[in-house]
Chains A and B, each alone.
Chain A
Amino acid sequence: MSTMDFRGRDLLGIEDLTADEIRYILDAVPPFKEISERDIKKVPTLRGKTIINLFFEPSTRTRTSFEIAGKRLSADVINISVATSSVSKGESLRDTAENLQAMQADVLVVRHSAAGVPHLLARYLPSPVINAGDGAHEHPTQALLDLYTLQEKLGTLAGHTVLIVGDIAASRVARSNMLAMRKLGMQVCVCGPRTMLPVGIEQMGVECTSDFDAAMQGADAVMMLRIQRERHGEVLFPSLQEYAERYCLTTERLQRAKSGVLVMHPGPMNRGVEIAPEVADGIESVILAQVTNGVAVRMALLYLLLGGS
């Protein structure tokens, strides 16, 4: 594939990427994974660049992953979490971002509970903005690391089937993954109680069902999503036990799937609710590989967006 140039671009969503662009990003990952396996986990590539993590929602995994990715490329990484920032004094979003830009930040990584915030900031800021999760809309870097993990373990993507289980309607992880998987020719089935399956989901080109047991049969990989009992004040199911009875990935349900099926979870997990502890730790689980690959994917992205700009 000829060289693509992502320098200066924003990464706001999978919806803005073509299938070729996604493949290009995935192909760029392996050398960055190798850096994390060295004794000295550092290359000087982004030396002198400033990366700001602007997180309006709590995060350990994603924020730490971006921080490690930036530091391994020798960039200076600053973490801003909203509770300790001037946003609590009433500073507007735009002012916060323009102030950071005035300090010559080279890239902003943004997570916010309202969809579209990264897009708004990208309009005001000349430097690249990376969406680390906006409301229930998109979480593109999660989808990229999930796809990379699937490709690494399965060899190819097209033609394989992924089953995503949980609160699909509220999940930006599910949404970005569905978009990315469909673009790359994968089959997707989403599963959960009716209260968690959004109206019109079939328009995304995915199958949907509330029968977890049946859905396990065709899956090459099953992705479990963490669930919250309440969302926006509405109660989505009677009790955690009842949810777990029908939608927890147990060893018994896992055995209905093909041999070699992969178990995935974006984290953090509620052991015993959506995933049985022995399954989370079992041989089919690639959950920790997802985390490792997350650092490599984010390193590759930072390089593509900033390297040489």
Chain B
Amino acid sequence: MERRVKAQAMDAAAMQRGLRRIAHEILERNRGATNLVLIGIRTRGVPLAQRLGEHLAHIEGHAVPIGAVDITLYRDDLKGRRSRPVHSTDIPCSLAAKDVVLVDDVLYTGRSIRAAMDALTDFGRPQSIQLAVLVDRGHRELPIRADYVGKNIPTARHEQVSVLLAEVDGRDAVTILEGEPGTAAG
């Protein structure tokens, strides 16, 4: 469905600054990066996790393990949606006793994060799971919150937040798209 652009919320520079700030916040809260593992939620959480990893490595001087989790098989909303292709989950090391930072592009209802936590606990018992998101658009349906937020963007339920990343879409942008009032957007 073609939607009209309501507003551009972040440009490439704002996204870059937000991620850099998040990297510093992660290091401050965790007192360094020695026990960290970044796990991106497919699809766009993965390049974001990689960018964060680069920032962390640049600041701290050592690499941080980065992985990816596909939550399709853990979703609670498969019924009724169109069939989704499944991609690989790729966990680089044991998560036992690690501080895992989940990375996603948009935090909305919180159901994707719940699914990601279910997926992670099948791989071992982390010491902690923290959440970094580029955008928090509100409307939580579960008691889930982000530890690190690039930008808070209040939205109406029928609007859609579109995150474009150079690695996936060819350019960086966060835009808010119009929807039909009275409907809920995905």
Contacts and interface: CB of A to CB of B under 8 A. Distances in A.
Nearest to A43: B73
A23 to B, nearest CB: 13
A126 B86 CA distance: 26
A72 to B, nearest CB: 10
A34 interface: yes
A307 B70 contact: no
A102 interface: no
A38 B83 CA distance: 25
B46 to A, nearest CB: 14
A30 B89 CA distance: 10
Given A44-B118, A309-B79, A303 B73 contact: yes
Interface in A1-21: 3-7
A171 to B, nearest CB: 32
A40 B86 contact: no
B141 interface: no
Determine which residue in A5, A6, A35 has the highest number of CB atoms from chain B within 10 A of its CB, and name it.
A35
A304 interface: yes
A60 B78 CA distance: 32
Contact of B89 (A34, A73, A308): A34
Contacts of B123: 38-40
Contact of B84 (A3, A38, A42): A3
Interface string A33-68: 011001110111100000000000000000000000
Nearest to A45: B73
A32 B85 CA distance: 12
Given A38-B123, A303-B73, A6 B83 contact: yes
Contacts, number: 55
Given A31-B70, A44-B73, A308 B122 contact: no
B88 A31 contact: yes
Nearest to A27: B85
B81 A44 contact: no
Determine which residue in A35, A39, A73, A307 has the highest number of CB atoms from chain B within 10 A of its CB, and name it.
A307
B82 A5 contact: yes
A27 B70 CA distance: 15
B87 A31 contact: yes
Nearest to A7: B83
Contact of B86 (A5, A28, A39, A44): A28
A34 B67 CA distance: 14
From DSSP, what is the main secondary structure of chain A's interface residues? loop
B79 A31 contact: no
Given A44-B118, A307-B78, A4 B83 contact: yes
A31 B86 contact: yes
Contacts of B74: 43-45
Interface in B35-82: 70, 73-74, 78-82
A31 B87 CA distance: 6
A5 B83 contact: yes
A307 B87 CA distance: 14
Nearest to A33: B88
B73 A308 contact: no
Contact of A3 (B73, B83, B119): B83
Nearest to B87: A31
B80 A308 contact: yes
Contacts of A307: 78, 83-84
Given A303-B73, A308-B78, A40 B89 contact: no
A42 B79 contact: no
Interface in B108-155: 118-119, 122-124
A96 to B, nearest CB: 29
Contacts of B87: 31
Contacts of A308: 78-81, 83-84
A42 B121 CA distance: 12
13 contacts: A3-B82, A4-B83, A5-B82, A7-B83, A27-B85, A31-B87, A31-B88, A38-B122, A44-B73, A44-B74, A303-B73, A307-B84, A308-B84
Given A28-B86, A31-B70, 16 more contacts: A3-B85, A5-B83, A7-B83, A31-B86, A31-B87, A31-B88, A31-B89, A34-B89, A39-B124, A40-B122, A43-B122, A44-B73, A73-B73, A303-B73, A303-B86, A304-B83
7 nearest A-B residue pairs (beta carbon): A308-B78, A43-B73, A45-B73, A5-B83, A40-B122, A31-B86, A31-B88
